[in-house]
Amino acid sequence: MSARAPKVGTLSIVLHHHLPFVRHPQYPHFLEERWLFEALHETYLPLIECWRALERDGVPFAMTVTMTPPLVNMLGDPHLNAKFARHLDGLRGLAARELTRTRGNPGLERLARFYHERFERLATLYHDTLRGDVLGEYRRLQDAGFLEIVTCTATHGFLPLMNGDEHAMRAQVEVAAKDYARVFGRAPPGIWLAECGFVPGADRLLAEQGIRYFFVDSHALLQAEAEAVYGVYAPLACSETGVAAFARDPESSKQVWSSKEGYPGDFAYREYYRDLGFDLPLAEIGPWIHPDGIRLNTGFKYHRITGGGLGDKALYDPDVARRRADEHAANFMFNRQAQLRHVRAHIDRAPNIVSPYDAELFGHWWFEGPWFLESLARRIHSDQDEIALSTPARVLDAEPTIQAATPSMSSWGDGGYTTFWCNPTNDWIYPHLHHAAARMHALVERFGDASGFEARALTQAGRELLLAQASDWAFIMRTATTVEYADRRTREHLKAFRDLDEALTTGRVSGAAFLDFLTAREQQWNIFPELDVRAWAR
């Protein structure tokens, strides 16, 4: 379904879906696997619910979605899907229990009923409608023309800190493109370079895979090799390859993601940091959080953002919050109309606003975010004719002639370059990553045509290297959250790579102990089932 042509310009909403690859089948409960489970019931399923409502009501919409290969591989994993199904059933059980516990307290009982209805609805969507196949629903929405799904570097590898190693960077791009084709049955139209990390020359690697466009932060275009005559309101074509770079619009981005200046901080919205997992006595909430008695967020949050400390919060009202989300959608649309109208008066082409966000902002951090997006799509369709939702590929199709100029090296991290991922908290990882990447190229040169155990060992070495290169580990070390886990994952993947390297180079790939080790690594870290190691040799 297509929308009518806008009179002024277009808006490209980009939702970056990403989680690091976390899979621990040897444990019935593993704390970091909850990252995926929370994203599913707080962000991905609510987004699907809103998109299906728009589709049902005949509202045309177009949004761009990044689905990173680690997330795609986790969503397609039967083991993790089974664990999520149990997790969702546990939330339904807690919701039923809350109906009983809150009886007689009208305010809390109303919220308990809201959560009970919500989790029953999400369970019906997941089990009955989607048959447990969330990934398939994203694919269906893309095939129907509502979503434009792009890939990301294979394990969210941050290209600017790969020491200029073209083989390492190529593998991150090529493995991602091939895995995307495996899952979605087509080539990726675009790519989200992890952390929007771009270095000149990386566009050659994208062009090799037929990728049409990528995203950068605004200063990458504003500091390009030639002045960007349209600013951030039109893409640039990299000088040598023609691959298009779309830049983030700071104004529209900040209006949504900022908890202090943006919409999510409104006092009508749900308070993220006040959760039943911490409010109730451990004896009551224990069975619903973690078997070891670790207090965790449950997703049951009964309070709204109000002044004072966490103990001084008013009760949440979902109806009021939903109306406020609609008001904010109207305000956002009004501001984009004014912004595009002003820009259009000064340039000779239809401007495009690119508004990228981490998907988990919508639903996880900002509970009402999916409602906001649904209301925005409805209002853009029915309340005006100046602007339209679009996607980068559609923008390129409509305006194929764009200025040629290669963006500058940059990222969208704090400071705009690389310091967030390379600083005293995490810089120790890079000599090891660089050495392992160089060794991987040498191994492929030597054993690339091998078969049997050697081929298996080489392929698993590639997986271990890619997983060690995930920018998530450096990010976590910098933010000082689950540092122990990030440190352990980095060290374990590098050690496994080193053991595989040693076995290959010494010819010890057929002993019983080594085969047990190799099989165990293959079974646990089973990302990229069709990994082609020749990506490191091209």
Fold of 9-76+133-250+349-398: 7-stranded beta/alpha barrel (3.20.110)
In tens, the pLDDT along 496-538 reads 999 999 999 999 998 999 999 999 999 999 999 999 999 999 7
- Residue 174 is predicted with a pLDDT of 98
Query: Residue 231: exposed, middle, or buried by beta-carbon count in 10 A (0-12, 13-18, 19+)?
Result: middle
Percent of the chain with pLDDT over 70: 99
In tens, the pLDDT along 63-115 reads 999 999 999 999 999 999 999 999 999 999 999 999 999 999 999 999 999 99
Structure-token pair, residue 216: 């950068």
- Average pLDDT of the chain, as a whole number: 96
On whether the CB atoms of residues 49 and 125 are closer than 8 A, the answer is yes
The closest of 234, 242, 239, 241 to 218, measured between CA atoms, is 234
CA 323 from centroid of its chain's CA atoms: 27
Instruction: Please state the domain extents for the chain.
Output: 9-76+133-250+349-398, 429-536
Round to whole Å and give the CA distance between 420 and 450. 40
Place of tokens 């911490």: 278
Round to whole Å and give the CA distance between 248 and 355. 6
By DSSP bridging, strand 244-247 and strand 213-216 are parallel
Query: Is residue 287 scored above 90 in pLDDT?
Result: no
On whether the CB atoms of residues 151 and 177 are closer than 8 A, the answer is yes
Helices (H), ranges, 104-189: 106-123, 134-143, 166-184
Query: Is residue 6 scored above 90 in pLDDT?
Result: no
In tens, the pLDDT along 350-391 reads 999 999 999 999 999 999 999 999 999 999 999 999 999 999
Is CATH 1.20.1430.10 correct for 429-536? yes
In tens, the pLDDT along 429-487 reads 999 999 999 999 999 999 999 999 999 999 999 999 999 999 999 999 999 999 999 99
